[in-house]
Structures are given as structure tokens and as C-alpha cells.
Structure 1
């Protein structure tokens, strides 16, 4: 999560800070706070869903050989399932990490948002060098 957070800082700097600085400095406009949070939610959602849908992995997940798959089929999850997982991640993390701690008692060691969205994180075998 720490590595993913560092990558997300770059994503947010490009897609959030730069436009808001341009609006503020160039036009002296400050969007309302609720719009800023909605913007952050949408930008991060687009990042996660695009990577999960396309590769099954974000950049940080690629580093740790983790992949998101459909829990029943074992293939890439659908876009709807990815958006559901993303939406469920927020309360899972923000409610004192209860959805993450759920993995300690889950029979399959899944996070609560994975269990509810029908997804699963699997550990890939490391690539062998030829």
C-alpha cells in the first residue's frame, strides 16, 4: 500500500494539482470542496479500474507479483466488478482498515472488499530468467 500510495501521488499531481493550480492562478477560480473530492474519487477510480481491467495489476502489484482476478472464473474481472471493488475499497480502508484486517480471519485470506466484489488477489510465480 505504501508503494501504491507513492505512485498515486504522481497521478494526483498530474491530474489534480496541475489543473487546480491553473484554474486558481490563471482564472482565480476555486472549485467547491465536494467537487475536489469527487474529482479525486474519479481520477483514482479511473487509474485502478484501467489497470485492473487491462492487466489485472497496477504498477505496484506488478512489482510484488500480485494480480487481481475474478474469484470464480480466474480471469480478468469485468469493468463493473472492478468499479465495485474500487468503491468498496474506500470504506474498507477508511473505517480503520477493518476491510484489510478482515483477511486475518477470512478462510481464503481475502480482503473484505474482494470477498464482497467477487474478486481475488493471487500471487504469480516469479518470471524465470533464461
Structure 2
């Protein structure tokens, strides 16, 4: 099947893919946490909490790295016809995918830091801070001439629209 690259995806489409990715990742995180609990015989959610977080960080890194280096599209990106490439339009190598994965945590870092510094314990306040942080990060893309996210600019990657050609 021949693929045709078109215009850059809109912020609205990229955010829709972001939300869809969250739904997919819910299953990945759930399965990983379930296996972690069984393998470590975890009896309480707070025991081994930091180990689980480290395992989830690695598993999510493997998930994104695998898809980004093999076709440039996760499940959600395929559904929204978005593809990740380098600035020359080529697939990502492992190091660039790893750098992008690590820097993509910039989506959440300011909000998580704010929650920690303000010592927020209220779930609603934490959730609101996280949503505001993600929205602010997304809106920052409006400052870039081609609308790319900060982590893509730093890593030398870009999101492009890729739709199948009609037969």
C-alpha cells in the first residue's frame, strides 16, 4: 500500500491522538501492574510503589520506542493518521526515540513538580493541575512556526499527517 504525506496534523488531531493513547496505555499500565503485583507478591499498593513506577517507566519506554522505530506510529497515531519522523522524513533510530520518550515527560513535569512543591493532597486539585499543565504545554506548540511540540523541537523530530492513498 502506498502512503502519501500531507500537511502537518492540527493541534486538535494531535490532542485527540494523545487522549486515545491514554486509553491504550491504561491497558498497558494495568497489565504491567498486575504482573508486577503477582511476580513480587505485592500485598499492599504502597509497598514497592517506587519499584512499580520504575518498571512502568521502562515498559512505557519500550512500548513507545518499539512503535516509533518500527513505522513511526503507535496504535493511536495510526488511528489518527499521524506519523513520527525525523526532520528529514526518515524513521527514528533507537537513540532519538529514547531521547524523545524521556523528553516527552515534559508534558507532565511542570504539573507534577507543582503538585509536589505545593504539597497538594486533594485528588481534584492534583488532577486540575495536571490538566492545566498538559493544556499549557500543548498551547506552547502555537509559538513554533510549524506548530511542533517542545520535545519534538529539541529531539529533531516531527509529527506529520500520513493517510493511505485511496484505491
Q: Is the 8 A contact 1:93 1:100 kept in 2?
A: no
2:140 to 72, 84, 102: 102
Task: Say whether residues 1:76 and 2:107 are aligned partners.
Answer: no
Length, aligned pairs only: 126
Task: Say whether residues 1:8 and 2:25 are aligned partners.
Answer: yes
Deviation, structure 1 residue 22: 4.7
TM-score, normalization by structure 1: 0.86
Separation in structure 2 between the aligned mates of residue 107 and residue 59 of structure 1, nearest angstrom: 27
| Bigger relative contact order, structure 1 or 2 (CA pairs below 8 A, ≥6 apart) | 2
Give secondary structure in 1 for the equivalent of 2:106.
helix
1:56 to 63, 66, 72: 72
Structure 1: which 5+ residue stretches go unaligned? none
**RMSD in angstroms over aligned alpha carbons?**
2.0
Query: What aligned pairs does 1:91-130 form with structure 2 within 5 A after superposition?
Result: 91-95=106-110, 96-97=133-134, 98-128=136-166, 130=167
Structure 2: which 5+ residue stretches go unaligned? 1-17, 111-132
Moved over 6 A (4+): none
Separation in structure 2 between the aligned mates of residue 34 and residue 49 of structure 1, nearest angstrom: 22
TM-score, normalization by structure 2: 0.68
2:103 to 68, 83, 88: 88
